[in-house]
Chains A and B, each alone.
Chain A
Amino acid sequence: MSHRGKFLLGGAVILGALGYLVYAGVSQSVVYFVTPSELQAQPVPGKAYRLGGLVAPGSLKWEARSLDLSFILSDGKTSVPVRHKGTAPDLFAEGRGAVVEGTWSGEGYFKASLIMAKHSEEYKAPHGNEAQAGYKELLKTLKGRGNP
């Protein structure tokens, strides 16, 4: 076999191995993005999903001591209860979009291992007096407390 042939063969073997690596990587770690309706239609316990929806107003519960976070993700038609251990990310709030990654527990709720809040990049007018008042109150209650 010529040198060229050997090099081509060697290259082909390596490329084949890499191709397999990519194939295995994709089939193992691709995560399907579903809406609450799609998930509720045919939930597979233990399978990894990314579930996206709106955090239903009034559904957010946070047990600070045990770090238990629970809320309901909704797409307007169907909703899915979600449980998570730990604080939510900064941009997470009721009435806003969120994407959670995790598995269907098989017991009626989605077990989230990761919460991603959706960051809106659109132009937003600064908050009105209402929000400002909220911050002022926060300042008042906290001012002077603790040892900075």
Chain B
Amino acid sequence: MTPEIGYAMTAVALGLALYGSAACAIGARTNRPVLIQSAQHAAIGTFVLIGAAMLLLVYAFLTFDFSVRYVATNTNRGTPFYYRITALWGALEGSIILWSAMLSLYTLLIIVRYRSRQAEFYPWVLSVMLGILAFFLLVMTIPAPPFERLAPIPPDGRGLNPLLEDTGMITHPVALYLGFTGFTVPFAFAMAALITGRTGDEWMRVTRRWTIVAWYFLSLGLLIGGWWSYHVLGWGGYWAWDPVENAAFMPWLTGTAFLHSVMIQERRRILKLWNLTLIILTFGLTIFGTFLTRSGILSSVHSFTQGSIGAFFLGFIALVLLGAFGLVAARGDRLRAEGELDSIVSRESAFLLNNLFLIAAAFTVFFGTIFPLLSEAIRGVKVSVGAPFFNLVNIPIFLALILLMGVGPLIAWRRASLDNLRRNFLAPVGAGILAAGVFRLLGVANALALTCLSLVVFVAATIVLDFYRATGARLQTGERLLPAMGGLLMRQNRRYGGFVVHLGILVVALGVTGSQAWSIQTESTLRRGEALQIGQYNVRFDGLAASEESNHFKVTGTFTVTNNGHALAVMTPAKKFYPQEQTPIAAVDYLMGLREDLYLVLGDFARDGSQATVKVQLNRFVTLIWIGGFILTLGAALAILPEPRKAPSPLSSPPGGERAG
């Protein structure tokens, strides 16, 4: 019965979402609050039904209900308890449920928060969100039903993809999808603004914190994805410019651009059209990413025609883009700028440049990702565009972005005077140049690494300088040091939250630079008792052991590691043999350190345990990437806190006070 109940739930939820979306729109147009009330009930019903469907599927996983095809393909009797729950989003159908659940959660939060506020926007926002939700429910009903029945019922299932049996896979999709679906909120408000004709900056101010939430979860999703890749895939890297990664990275880039350009519109009332374009693109890219990774188009343009899911997504993307840009065109007269750029040396133009580079990065990633598809479809030639392309094109762009990260927040609005430039940038530029010299003397020869280090020091110096000055100003009024610093963070949480996020990004940048420039690796076949040397570490092979786990067999190598002759650790990289897979899966073992990780991957081995091939890597500064992610979390949390009313400051208030409040 489970398949039928589940299918019925998704079908009814689809009906409710469609009804709610239409009722809201009609209610708003004809001014009938009753209809909006009714749509609200439909939305809550959708939320409950999707939640119940998700729980039902979890229940099917927990009870090994193999009459559901999705359960049978993604679990077997040996799959451990917690991975049976997360197997829910182990493949396409389940991840669409997860997506819908997240989206309906955001919809519920919108109802709770805005049903008696934002009376103009609210019904349209709800209508747009339910419309988008209806699309995903449609996907769950027709091309990718998670509750499809499997007959005859097999005695055991196939099992979860072993690579997904990992804690990273418990959290990564949740964070990523909270990020993806989160961008629906600012998108829906933007559409509501266009429909109602209230195209001022109100929709952006309402959704400012929603955008940060979405951006934060997307960042977290990307970082956890990198961490999963690093400690599961056994190649010692965290980012491969794989299309799946690129698909999530593109909306991050445009979302980051949006996050920054809304600040210019709020302050200067320009870039209205640009901001709408950015949020439409960001939302479109979240859908496009799912299309790219789930339609099978990546393996070949020809596999695209095999399933209908690709056509559904492509149709939806076309609908979204046509509808959204159609609305923009219809409201073109209301999107004129109310001000203009005064000078190239100003905060506006620094932000504009930041936007230009972020969009350029998004475009190059987009281009590199789809170029092989275009080449195959148009010229019939299969090519691949790999990491060298993305690195070559993106490294200069990202270096420029780091530079702007230092310039943007401190340079004056409108027109920066020479005095402003000297006051804010003389010391940080000096610090950056000094750092380059010091690192050069310390033996850093890599020009790229040197440039990046110097830029990071420059940006960090601007942040420290700003915080130091602002704290100093508060100390003048007689405050003590710690309350002054805390008060500053809380009263200007948006500004300093942003700074903390920037610090996090800088630390990530250091980690990426360090690991790319200084990691080393070696590979060797060792007889029992033999050792290899890497850096100051000595790695000795002591033998193999086999064990039987709940759903796989495991061969574990034992390696004794000494650091300059001092005993350090016994490390146990392994190979796992899953019955449902034809080839083994590596289980990496690594010692994490701030400066470097010692990373062991067991390769081939002799069946009698007399010798084994092992790949040993010294991955330098990778830990900084995870630390940067943690700092970023703190900064985002600070920026999400409600802004205190009226917090004028000499640094952030607009000259001339053209904006009230």
Number of B residues, CB within 8 Å of A:
67
Are A126's CB and B159's CB within 8 A? yes
Which chain B residues have a beta carbon within 8 Å of chain A's beta carbons?
73, 76, 156, 158-159, 234, 340-344, 349, 352-353, 356, 360, 364, 367-368, 371, 381-386, 388-389, 392-393, 396-397, 523-525, 528, 542-548, 553, 555-558, 572, 575, 577, 579-580, 582-586, 603-604, 606-609, 611, 613, 615
Query: How many angstroms between the C-alpha atoms of A119 and B349 in the bound complex?
Result: 47
Quote the shortest CB–CB distance from A7 to chain B (angstroms).
Answer: 6
A132 to B223, CA, bound (A): 38
- Tell me if A124 and B524 are in contact (CB < 8 A): no
Q: Give 6 closest A-B pairs by Cβ, nearest first.
A: A146-B543, A142-B546, A33-B382, A87-B603, A148-B545, A29-B388
Q: Chain B residues with Cβ under 8 A from A101's Cβ? A: 384, 386
Q: Are B392 and A31 in contact (CB under 8 A)?
A: no
Report whether B611 and A64 are in contact in the complex, using a CB–CB cutoff of 8 Å.
yes
* A32-B585 contact given A62-B604, A90-B234, A139-B553, CB 8 Å threshold: no
From B368, B384, B553, A31 is in contact (CB under 8 Å) with B384
B607: contacting residue among A124, A142, A146, CB under 8 A: A142
Binds B, one of A39-47, A70-78, A91-99, A102-110: A91-99
**Are A32's CB and B383's CB within 8 A?**
yes
Across the interface, name the chain A residue whose C-beta is closest to B584: A90
Chain B contacts for A131, CB-based, 8 A: 579
The answer to whether residues A30 and B344 also contact, given A64-B525, A67-B523, A143-B546 and a CB cut-off of 8 A, is no
Interface string of A135-148 (1 = CB under 8 A from B): 10011011111111
Q: Quick check: B613 and A87 within 8 Å, CB to CB?
A: yes
In the complex, the answer to whether B582 meets A33 with C-beta atoms within 8 Å is: no
B385 near A30 with CB under 8 A, answer yes
Q: Scan A6-21; emit 1 where CB is below 8 A from any B CB, else 0.
A: 1100110011001001
Minimum CB distance partner of A135 in chain B: B553
Count of chain A residues near B, Cβ 8 A: 52
Of A3, A10, A90, A126, which contacts B340 at CB under 8 A?
A3
Closest residue to B367 on the A side, CB-wise? A22
Beta-carbon contact of A139 and B546 below 8 Å: yes
A146 to B544, Cβ gap below 8 A? yes
**Chain A residues packing against B (C-beta within 8 Å):** 3-4, 6-7, 10-11, 14-15, 18, 21-22, 24-26, 28-33, 50, 62, 64-65, 67, 86-87, 90-93, 96, 101, 117, 123-127, 131-132, 135, 138-139, 141-148
Between-chain CB contacts (< 8 Å), 18 pairs: A10-B344, A22-B367, A25-B368, A25-B389, A26-B368, A29-B386, A30-B384, A30-B389, A32-B383, A64-B604, A87-B613, A90-B585, A127-B579, A132-B579, A135-B553, A142-B608, A145-B545, A148-B572
Contact of A6 with B344 in the complex, beta carbons under 8 Å: yes
> Residues of A contacting B356 with CB < 8 Å?
11, 14-15
Residues from chain B with a CB closer than 8 A to the CB of A126 are 76, 156, 158-159, 579-580
On chain B, the residues within 8 Å of A123 by CB distance are 73, 158
Q: Do the beta carbons of A21 and B393 come within 8 Å of each other?
A: yes
Given A67-B523, A67-B525: A29 in contact with B546 (beta carbons within 8 A): no
Of A29, A92, A96, A146, chain B has the most CB atoms within 10 Å of the CB of A146
Is B524 in contact with A138, judged by CB distance below 8 angstroms?
no
Which residue of chain B has the shortest Cβ distance to A31 in the bound complex?
A: B384
Residues in A whose Cβ lies below 8 Å from that of B613: 64, 67, 87
Contact of B556 among A32, A135, A148 (CB under 8 A): A148
Give the CA-CA distance A78 to B215 in the complex, in Å. 50
Which B residues lie within 8 Å of A138 (CB)? 546, 553, 555, 577, 607
Measured in the bound complex, the distance between the Cα atoms of B401 and A14 in whole Å is: 13
